[in-house]
Amino acid sequence: MRYPVLILGGTSEARALAAALHSRGVAVVSSLAGRVERPRLPEGEVRLGGFGGPDGLAAWLTEHDVRAVVDATHPFAARISDSAVAATARAGVPLLRLERPGWTRPDGADWRWVDDLDEAAALLPSLGTRAFLTSGRQGLAAFADVDTVWFLIRCVDPPETRLPRHHELLLDRGPYTVDRELNLLRTHRIDVLVTKDSGGSMTAAKLDAATRHGIPSVIVRRPPRPDALTVSDVDDALHWALERYESRP
């Protein structure tokens, strides 16, 4: 089957773009990594799982006569973005990166930037003893040996890795409100927040709550991305995809 537009990723931006294309009659397929047990499915066709690296993705693009690829993966999904750049170059398919902006520190917020989860784990004991860990289930092993800190770990699905000795697991999915996050911080006596610079509004409430609660936030910077044409607005991505769709026979 032909799929003129391939969207990589299950972000809210990816779902919005898929819905907009689908409503215009474009045969769009969204590719999800399959790491979440009950993902929010976009409109149009959906495929789960990887492609087998850049070579596999390039072959899939050619086989399905893809006219345009939009990489709308999570800001920390660096591997698939690397594969997308390499694969689209080999297959001769235009590529656009759709990525939400990172968060901007508001006045009065105590933000501590780190380069990765290992650096976050090393910094934590100097900042507090009860941490709210919201970095997702990937990479939680980085905190497994931090024995002087108790963790409230929130993620969508149960983690499949070694966890810190002192922790409570909270399975939950956004969006969240500031009042709800504040109540969580107070109930569990949290004195430090750990998260990634995911951006967007669905999970930003925890940062506002941390500022109001007067505690520091440890934030992991985004990994470097390969060079690619990038936009941050779904409408811009839609316009770009429609142009590629309409320009080929």
- Domains delineated in the chain: 5-101+224-247 (3.40.50.720), 111-220 (3.40.50.20)
Render pLDDT for 106-141 as a digit per residue (tens, 0 to 9): 999 999 999 999 999 999 999 999 999 999 888 899
Tell whether pTM > 0.95. no
Rounded Cα distance between 103 and 145, Å, is 29
Going by pLDDT thresholds of 50, 70 and 90, the confidence category of residue 244 is confident
| Residue 1 pLDDT > 60 | no
Model pLDDT, residue 37: 58
| Residue 71 pLDDT > 70 | yes
| Residue 202 pLDDT > 80 | no
Going by pLDDT thresholds of 50, 70 and 90, the confidence category of residue 16 is very high
User: Rounded to the nearest 5°, which phi and psi values hold at 48?
Assistant: -115, 145
Rounded Cα distance between 202 and 193, Å, is 17
* 26: amino acid identity, one letter: V
Going by pLDDT thresholds of 50, 70 and 90, the confidence category of residue 175 is confident
Mean per-residue pLDDT for 205-220? 97
User: Rounded to the nearest 5°, which phi and psi values hold at 71?
Assistant: -90, 100
Task: Tokens for 53, please give them.
Answer: 């690296």
CB of 33 closer than 8 Å to CB of 77: yes
Mean per-residue pLDDT for 49-58? 92
Model pLDDT, residue 157: 87
Residue in the block written with tokens 């092993």: 141
Chain-centre distance of CA 87, in angstroms? 21
* 112: amino acid identity, one letter: R
